[in-house]
Protein backbone atom coordinates (compact mmCIF):
# COMPACT_ATOMS: atom_id res chain seq x y z
CA UNK A 1 0.00 0.00 0.00
CA UNK A 2 1.26 3.45 -0.83
CA UNK A 3 -0.59 6.37 0.66
CA UNK A 4 1.92 9.12 0.08
CA UNK A 5 2.13 11.24 -3.02
CA UNK A 6 5.28 13.01 -4.04
CA UNK A 7 6.12 15.52 -6.71
CA UNK A 8 9.80 16.31 -6.68
CA UNK A 9 10.61 17.22 -3.10
CA UNK A 10 6.97 17.89 -2.24
CA UNK A 11 5.15 15.32 -0.13
CA UNK A 12 1.49 14.85 0.62
CA UNK A 13 0.12 12.26 3.00
CA UNK A 14 -3.33 10.79 2.61
CA UNK A 15 -4.28 12.40 5.94
CA UNK A 16 -3.67 15.82 4.38
CA UNK A 17 -0.34 16.50 6.06
CA UNK A 18 2.16 18.44 4.00
CA UNK A 19 5.74 19.59 4.71
CA UNK A 20 4.62 23.09 5.71
CA UNK A 21 1.88 21.95 8.11
CA UNK A 22 2.71 19.16 10.58
CA UNK A 23 5.52 17.92 8.39
CA UNK A 24 7.48 14.70 8.03
CA UNK A 25 10.47 13.56 10.04
CA UNK A 26 13.28 11.10 9.68
CA UNK A 27 12.62 8.00 11.79
CA UNK A 28 13.92 4.55 12.68
CA UNK A 29 12.38 1.19 11.72
CA UNK A 30 9.63 1.59 14.32
CA UNK A 31 8.59 5.07 13.20
CA UNK A 32 10.35 6.79 16.08
CA UNK A 33 11.77 10.22 15.17
CA UNK A 34 15.58 10.39 14.95
CA UNK A 35 17.97 13.17 14.04
CA UNK A 36 18.55 13.36 10.24
CA UNK A 37 22.22 12.48 10.51
CA UNK A 38 24.21 9.66 8.93
CA UNK A 39 24.80 8.00 12.29
CA UNK A 40 21.25 8.20 13.64
CA UNK A 41 19.17 7.97 10.49
CA UNK A 42 20.01 4.63 8.85
CA UNK A 43 16.58 3.54 7.62
CA UNK A 44 15.67 5.93 4.76
CA UNK A 45 12.26 6.19 6.45
CA UNK A 46 10.10 9.23 7.12
CA UNK A 47 7.16 9.42 9.52
CA UNK A 48 4.04 11.55 9.15
CA UNK A 49 3.52 13.02 12.61
CA UNK A 50 -0.14 13.70 11.99
CA UNK A 51 -1.35 10.15 11.31
CA UNK A 52 1.69 8.07 12.29
CA UNK A 53 2.23 6.38 8.95
CA UNK A 54 5.90 5.89 8.17
CA UNK A 55 7.22 5.19 4.73
CA UNK A 56 10.27 4.56 2.59
CA UNK A 57 11.48 7.82 1.10
CA UNK A 58 12.55 6.29 -2.23
CA UNK A 59 9.48 4.21 -3.00
CA UNK A 60 6.90 6.03 -0.88
CA UNK A 61 5.62 2.69 0.24
CA UNK A 62 4.07 2.68 3.70
CA UNK A 63 6.08 0.51 6.07
CA UNK A 64 3.75 0.73 9.06
CA UNK A 65 1.91 2.89 11.55
CA UNK A 66 3.45 3.94 14.85
CA UNK A 67 2.11 2.20 17.95
CA UNK A 68 0.80 4.17 20.94
CA UNK A 69 4.17 4.32 22.69
CA UNK A 70 6.00 5.59 19.62
CA UNK A 71 3.24 8.08 18.81
CA UNK A 72 3.56 9.44 22.35
CA UNK A 73 7.35 9.64 21.99
CA UNK A 74 7.05 11.51 18.69
CA UNK A 75 4.50 13.94 20.09
CA UNK A 76 6.86 14.79 22.95
CA UNK A 77 9.88 14.95 20.64
CA UNK A 78 8.14 17.53 18.50
CA UNK A 79 6.97 19.64 21.45
CA UNK A 80 10.55 19.93 22.68
CA UNK A 81 11.41 21.93 19.58
CA UNK A 82 8.50 24.37 19.60
Instruction: Give the residues lining the site for Zn ion (CB under 5 A).
Output: 13, 15, 17, 48, 50-51
DSSP helix, strand, coil percent of the chain (3-state; round to 5): 15, 30, 55
State the first-to-last Cα distance of the chain, in angstroms, to the nearest integer: 32
Shortest reach from residue 14's CB to Zn ion, in Å: 6
Nearer to Zn ion, 5 or 44 (CB): 5
Smallest gap, in angstroms, from Cβ of residue 38 to Zn ion? 26
In the bound complex, what is the minimum distance in angstroms from residue 10's beta carbon to Zn ion? 14
Distance from C-alpha of 42 to C-alpha of 37, rounded to nearest angstrom: 8
Amino acid sequence: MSIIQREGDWMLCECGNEPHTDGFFTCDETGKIVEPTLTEWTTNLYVCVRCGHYFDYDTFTTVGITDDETTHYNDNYWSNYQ
